[in-house]
Chain A
Amino acid sequence: MSTTITPGTPAPDFAARAAGRGRVTFVRVLRAEWIKLRSLRSTFWVLVAAVFVVIALGLLVTSGTVDRWPDTGAAERARFSAPNASLTGLYLAQLAIGVLGVLVITGEYATGSIRATMSAVPHRLPVLWAKAAVFGAVTFVLMLVTSLIAFLAGQAVLSKEHIDVALGDPGVPRVVVGVALYLAITGILAIGVGAVVRNAAGGIAIVFGLLLVLPQVVQALPTAWQDHITRYLPSEAGQAFTRWHPSADALSPNTGITVFALYAAATLAAAAVLLRRRDA
């Protein structure tokens, strides 16, 4: 590597420059976080995995349903939700998005790049909001497209038994959009968790615990308690919005997604308080 300082470089106007230009604005922080998100291979591969599992699992589940449909009893036929069957991949995709959300922030702590980030944006909080906004938006848009593809592909399979539904049928758009919205909020929740614990392994464990383990733990409680608790758990509340036939025990779709969003907001708020208080 050969390097030289160019002789005769014009005298810098650095003092004047610092006075007027280069303000850190939220839009600029958003752009920086967008560059960071798209310049990591892990982002690409995890999102590819999420897209794949949603579409593939939708095809698998709908094919299985079609295969067994002639032998399916009336009660089960009545419970069958064609849109949800084609979007079963949600349960796996939430894990991929949860992991990536945690890594978006803990990767910076693990590598030390958080110090570069915080020296560029010393107010710190814009970084957290921008990470949540960029990752939430990317997840929502990508998963909306994925959800639509999975839905259409799944309904095409189901049409063999004429049990498919159309995108325009009542309640169906909510399910298709709801899957993307649930995943986007999951991603933001994961960023909040990651920012609180600042450690990938711990963050992923907590996100999985919240989404997967907590509902199982509650199952072990006395039945009278379960009914009051289960519906308010993050994953249960959020998924209420994605179910075509709302369950009697669950929150209403709108209340459910609001409760889920509040979980994410509370986690992000805790992260914000800690981010301001702690040394970077």
Chain B
Amino acid sequence: MITAEALTKRYGPKTAVEGLSFTVRPGVVTGFLGPNGAGKSTTMRMILGLDRPTSGSVTVNGRRYADHPAPLHEVGALLEAKAVHTGRSAYHHLLSMAATTGIPTRRVHQVIRMVGLDEVARKRVGGFSLGMGQRLGIATALLGDPATLVLDEPVNGLDPEGVLWIRTLLKSLAAEGRTVFLSSHLMSEMALTAEHLIVVGRGRLIADTSVADFIAGAAPDQVRVRTPDADRLRALLFGPEVRIATEERDVLEVSGVSSDDIGRIAAAHGITLFELVPHRVSLEEAFMESTRDAVEYRVGGPSVGTGATSAGTGPNTRPRTGPRTRGRAA
């Protein structure tokens, strides 16, 4: 369990994180999304006590990271690829980390095998590829068999096999009841790995919600309908929540009605359909939509919210992700 409360970090005049409040629960993989410069890495560094918050606090399992007597057993972290001395071997890096908390050498060999670095463990890290560096970072995170994992861009630089491996690993770790918190800019990967999302933009919280709700909230699904009887169908589908756009004479872009319902209505009235294609909004589209709004709010209108309002209101609150149809139906 990671709990951030009104977390704020300023570097001189620049605000990296502002009033960020969220909870990362055990048992599910939680994704941390945001455009570059949104404050993801800064937040992760504050979780690990590397950066001191300007105000607010962040705790792991009820304590500040530094207050845990055995931090590596509590939180495993992958902060950036190769936070390792380039002149040292992977084995000695892990051995020195293990030594700080009395982890036996046996465990060092175990994590090296687990991430598949057996053959290069005695080589200097300076010669490692990005993917090998990531594997070493993951080995470091797993060293203390921690209940909480904080991973900044863990799939960065991994080959497809490595990406699949880490996805399976993270899901199994979460299934064991651990807290898994990872950032990634690869939306498709996040959609496959994470169940819950914390989305930030410009250092502020945009959404704290499940992946499914986030996608649903950002933009409604659309259905493309091609029918020779477009005018009749349009009249039949009409309703307060329904938006219908027409691109071509016999094509309707419908939102607010599921493809199932459109099919039933058409059948009931004997309308021939040539195409009935539901288009699901991808996480990427949802993300672009949400973060674009954050930027707009920052420049002009009212604040998107400090995030403080969501503090402690329970795990399933989704304060700022109501359905938004604006700008979609033309």
Q: How far is the CA of A240 from the CA of B301 in the complex (A)?
A: 71
Tell me how many residue pairs across A and B have CB atoms closer than 8 Å: 148
* Contact residues, B99-142 vs A (CB, 8 A): 99-103, 114-117, 135, 140
Residue in chain A with minimal CB distance to B74: A18
Chain B residues with Cβ below 8 Å from A31 are 99-100
Query: B87, A123: Cβ atoms under 8 Å?
Result: no
Tell me, yes or no, whether A48 is within 8 Å of chain B by CB: no
Residue in chain A with minimal CB distance to B52: A279
Tell me, yes or no, whether B234 is within 8 Å of chain A by CB: no
Query: A40, B102: Cβ atoms under 8 Å?
Result: no
A4, A14, A29, A39: the one contacting B145 at CB < 8 Å is: A14
Best-buried of A5, A12, A22, A23 by chain B (most CB within 10 Å): A22
Query: B88, A39: Cβ atoms under 8 Å?
Result: yes
Chain B residues with Cβ below 8 Å from A121 are 71, 100
Chain A residues with Cβ below 8 Å from B45 are 115, 279-280
Known: A18-B74, A279-B52. Is A36-B88 also a contact (CB below 8 A)? yes
Tell me, yes or no, whether B303 is within 8 Å of chain A by CB: no
Q: How far is the CA of A31 from the CA of B95 in the complex (A)?
A: 10
Query: A23, B97: Cβ atoms under 8 Å?
Result: no
B50, B73, B117: the one contacting A280 at CB < 8 Å is: B50
Q: How many interface residues does A have (CB within 8 Å)?
A: 42
Tell me, yes or no, whether A78 is within 8 Å of chain B by CB: no
Interface string of A20-50 (1 = CB under 8 A from B): 0111110011011101100111100000000
Q: How far is the CA of A23 from the CA of B176 in the complex (A)?
A: 24
Query: A112, B73: Cβ atoms under 8 Å?
Result: no
Tell me, yes or no, whether B77 is within 8 Å of chain A by CB: yes
* Contact residues, A223-239 vs B (CB, 8 A): none
Query: A23, B101: Cβ atoms under 8 Å?
Result: yes
Minimum C-beta distance from B123 to chain A (A): 12
Chain B residues with Cβ below 8 Å from A5 are 114, 165, 168-169, 172
Tell me, yes or no, whether B82 is within 8 Å of chain A by CB: yes
Tell me, yes or no, whether B144 is within 8 Å of chain A by CB: yes
Minimum C-beta distance from A219 to chain B (A): 39
Tell me, yes or no, whether B204 is within 8 Å of chain A by CB: no
Tell me, yes or no, whether B93 is within 8 Å of chain A by CB: yes
Interface size class of B (residues with CB under 8 A): 35 or more
Tell me, yes or no, whether B85 is within 8 Å of chain A by CB: yes
Best-buried of A1, A11, A12, A279 by chain B (most CB within 10 Å): A1
Tell me, yes or no, whether A107 is within 8 Å of chain B by CB: yes
Query: B83, A113: Cβ atoms under 8 Å?
Result: yes
Tell me, yes or no, whether B240 is within 8 Å of chain A by CB: no
Query: B72, A120: Cβ atoms under 8 Å?
Result: yes
Residue in chain A with minimal CB distance to B135: A1
Query: B84, A113: Cβ atoms under 8 Å?
Result: yes
Query: A108, B87: Cβ atoms under 8 Å?
Result: no
Residue in chain B with minimal CB distance to A6: B114
Query: A35, B96: Cβ atoms under 8 Å?
Result: yes
Query: B100, A24: Cβ atoms under 8 Å?
Result: yes
Q: Which of B62-70, B253-261, B309-317 contacts A (4 or more CB under 8 A)?
A: B62-70
Tell me, yes or no, whether B35 is within 8 Å of chain A by CB: no
Interface string of A109-129 (1 = CB under 8 A from B): 001110110111111000000
A42, A113, A120, A280: the one contacting B101 at CB < 8 Å is: A120
Query: A115, B100: Cβ atoms under 8 Å?
Result: no
Tell me, yes or no, whether B57 is within 8 Å of chain A by CB: no
Minimum C-beta distance from B113 to chain A (A): 8
A3, A22, A116, A118: the one contacting B73 at CB < 8 Å is: A22
Chain A residues with Cβ below 8 Å from B117 are 1
Residue in chain A with minimal CB distance to B92: A39
Q: How far is the CA of A99 from the CA of B102 in the complex (A)?
A: 31
Minimum C-beta distance from A120 to chain B (A): 4
Q: How far is the CA of A116 from the CA of B84 in the complex (A)?
A: 7
Chain B residues with Cβ below 8 Å from A74 are none
Q: How far is the CA of A119 from the CA of B65 in the complex (A)?
A: 9
Chain A residues with Cβ below 8 Å from B178 are 14
Query: A40, B85: Cβ atoms under 8 Å?
Result: yes
Q: How far is the CA of A4 from the CA of B115 in the complex (A)?
A: 8
Residue in chain A with minimal CB distance to B82: A112
Tell me, yes or no, whether B79 is within 8 Å of chain A by CB: yes
Query: B50, A119: Cβ atoms under 8 Å?
Result: yes
Chain A residues with Cβ below 8 Å from B92 are 35-36, 39
Minimum C-beta distance from A124 to chain B (A): 8
Q: How far is the CA of A237 from the CA of B275 in the complex (A)?
A: 91
A-B contact pairs, 30 of them (CB 8 A): A1-B117, A1-B135, A3-B116, A5-B168, A5-B172, A12-B145, A12-B176, A14-B145, A17-B73, A17-B145, A21-B70, A22-B102, A23-B70, A24-B71, A24-B100, A28-B100, A32-B97, A35-B95, A36-B88, A36-B92, A39-B88, A112-B84, A113-B84, A119-B50, A119-B77, A120-B100, A122-B49, A122-B68, A123-B66, A279-B50
A-B residue pairs, 9 tightest by C-beta: A39-B92, A22-B70, A3-B116, A122-B66, A32-B99, A22-B101, A1-B116, A35-B96, A113-B85
Kindly list 14 other residue pairs between chains A and B, CB separation below 8 angstroms, not including A12-B176, A119-B75, A119-B77. Answer: A5-B172, A18-B146, A21-B73, A24-B71, A31-B99, A40-B85, A40-B88, A112-B80, A115-B80, A116-B84, A119-B50, A119-B71, A121-B100, A122-B49
